[in-house]
Structure 1
Amino acid sequence: MTKAEERVDPRGRPLRTLFKRIESRLLLILLAAAAAFSAFFELASDVAEGDTTDIDRQILLSFRNPADLSDPLGPRTLEEALRDITALGGFTVLTIVTVVATLAFLFHRRRMHAAVMAGTVILAQFASSFAKVMYDRPRPDLVSHGSYVYSNSFPSGHSMLSAATYLTLAMLIASLEPTRATKFMAYVLAVAVIVAVGISRVYLGVHWPSDVLGGWAFGAAFSLLAWLVLLKLGARPAPPRG
């Protein structure tokens, strides 16, 4: 081994060990992304064949008053609150989040992070629109819709784009933040919002549960690819602390 190979990074770890760890992380992320895409296409196949119809109906109706299917369970304030939550996965809010996050990264001279953030959301938006047209699944017709809809049902655009946007943002923040608690909080908040948005879509009767699951899988796959790109382009995560 040459002297150059024996050099260490600021934390005292051999560079060769660091490179191996990065390669291992890249492989794990790639496998996770492949698994997410596989889960989406497997679910899409089940949806196309009608295999999810029964469970979709059961879950959707479980959110409704059996005596009046136009009435979601719980008080009207809950229904209104879930309309507010579902807006967190809407085009307007996600566009604002993406623009603000991209500008914030640019202001801090993190051009790669800004490019990954904007690029991931834009690609996910196109993929969502294409998938909706390709699978051409009608919206649920068992109950009245509690929110305005204007596109096909599978996959859920709100679920997919919220997953792609918030998970990517959490990943980018975590890559710059050295404190473990802050990294953890970023991911927890992202997952909480994503899950809440998905549940709100079923509660409001505008999506089948399988639409939401498909959206989560597809969106997570894009976020994992974004993480892969960030690491591949040489962005090293901040060393954990605390």
Structure 2
Amino acid sequence: MVGIAVLAVALALGLTVTKVGATRTGELALDESIAQHRDAVLTAVAMVINVGFGTLVAPLLLLVTCGTLWFRNRFAALAIGVLTIIGWFSVEVGKVLVHRPRPPAAAVHALVSETAPDSYPSGHTAFAASALFAVVAVLVLTRRPTRIAWIVGAPLVGAVAVSRLYLGVHYLTDVMASVVFAAASVLLATTLALPWLTRLRDSDLRRAQRPPASRDIGLRRS
């Protein structure tokens, strides 16, 4: 219920800021100010983030990460993959319903061409946030500390969010809403899939605790 309520609030916020306009909210002025303070190094970093967390490379990174993790912990591989995808795709609901225009390229001197009216929320930021929340969910379900995940993941999400403003393709509420969408959808998905996730976790734990000889026999039988 909390996840559903938060998603509803996020949608309402998107509709409101779109109706009010980025000029009146001050978001356009912020983007214009950022555009005046660019340099070669920051631009290079922002462009790398743009490609790495985009729709072409991000799924490959997720696939490689989960594929590598599969050989050590199948539960973590499946759960992180599924929850990240759910959190990432949740922003598509906002993009379709809110239909917010992108910042005017000429005014913000956009470094990336984005013309579709799908500014709210940011898909790049949503992917980073969804991956973080998925990892945290898995750590919580396996009763492991989450401190390192937050220390590493939160600054990364922040960097992706700032890069979207830096490139001139999103407004501040776009990237903020992405984190909210990701958090709410991962929470909702984890709650609804908790019985399946618990069974998968326990099965993987039993498999890891079996002696190597028993696992080899089980594999030959299967």
TM-score by length of 1: 0.68
Q: 1:128 to 1:219 in 2, by over 3 A?
A: same
> What CA distance in whole angstroms lies between the structure 2 residues aligned with 1:168 and 1:215?
14
Change (3 A) 1:122 1:226: same
Identify the residue that residue 11 of structure 2 maps to in structure 1: 41
Q: Distance in 1 between matches of 2:103 and 2:67?
A: 38
The 1-side partners of 2:73 and 2:128 are apart by 25
8 Å CA contact 1:39, 1:217 repeated in 2: no
Structure 2, unmatched stretches of 5+, are 206-222
Task: Give the 3-state SS of the residue equivalent to 1:63 in structure 2.
Answer: helix
The equivalent of 1:220 in structure 2 is 183
1:50 pairs with 2:23: no
Aligned to 1:138: 101
Q: Is the 1:170–1:190 contact (alpha carbons within 8 Å) kept by the matching residues of 2? A: no
* Letter in structure 1 aligned against 2:109: S
Matches of 1:186 and 1:75 in 2, distance apart?
Answer: 30
% identity of equivalent residues: 24
* Map of 1:129 onto structure 2: 92
RMSD (Å), alpha carbons: 2.8
The residue number in structure 2 matching 1:184 is: 147
Contact 2:35 2:109 in 1 (8 A): no
List runs of 5+ in structure 1 lacking aligned partners.
Answer: 1-29, 66-72
TM-superposed CA distance for 1:229, in Å, is: 4.6
Cα distance in structure 2, aligned partners of 1:213 and 1:109: 32
**Hey, what does 2:40 align to over in structure 1?**
76
1:149 aligns with 2:119: no
Change (3 A) 1:130 1:149: same
Tell me the CA shift for residue 95 of structure 1. Answer: 0.9
Assess, with a 3 A threshold, how the Cα gap between structure 1 residues 155 and 163 changes in structure 2: closer, same or farther.
same
Deviation at 1:34, TM superposition (A): 4.1
Report how many aligned residue pairs link the two structures. 196
CA shift at 1:38, angstroms? 3.8
1:95 to 33, 55, 59: 59
Alignment partners' CA distance in 2, 1:109 and 1:201? 33
Query: Residue 64 of structure 1 aligns with which residue?
Result: 35
- Taking the aligned partners of 1:186 and 1:168, their CA distance within structure 2 comes to 10
Contact 1:60/1:205 (CA < 8 Å) preserved in 2? yes
Change beyond 3 A, Cα 1:150–1:162: farther
Cα gap change, 1:74/1:140 in structure 2, threshold over 3 Å: closer, same or farther?
closer
Q: Is 1:161 paired with 2:131? A: no
2:162 corresponds to which of 195, 199, 204:
199
Secondary structure of the structure 2 residue equivalent to 1:155? coil
Are the structure 2 counterparts of residues 88 and 134 from structure 1 closer, same or farther at C-alpha, using a change threshold of 3 Å?
same
Task: Quote how far apart the aligned CAs of 1:176 are.
Answer: 4.0
Q: TM-score, normalised by structure 2?
A: 0.73
Is the alpha carbon distance of 1:226 and 1:102 closer, same or farther for their aligned partners in structure 2, counting shifts above 3 Å? farther
Counterpart amino acid of residue 206 in structure 1: V
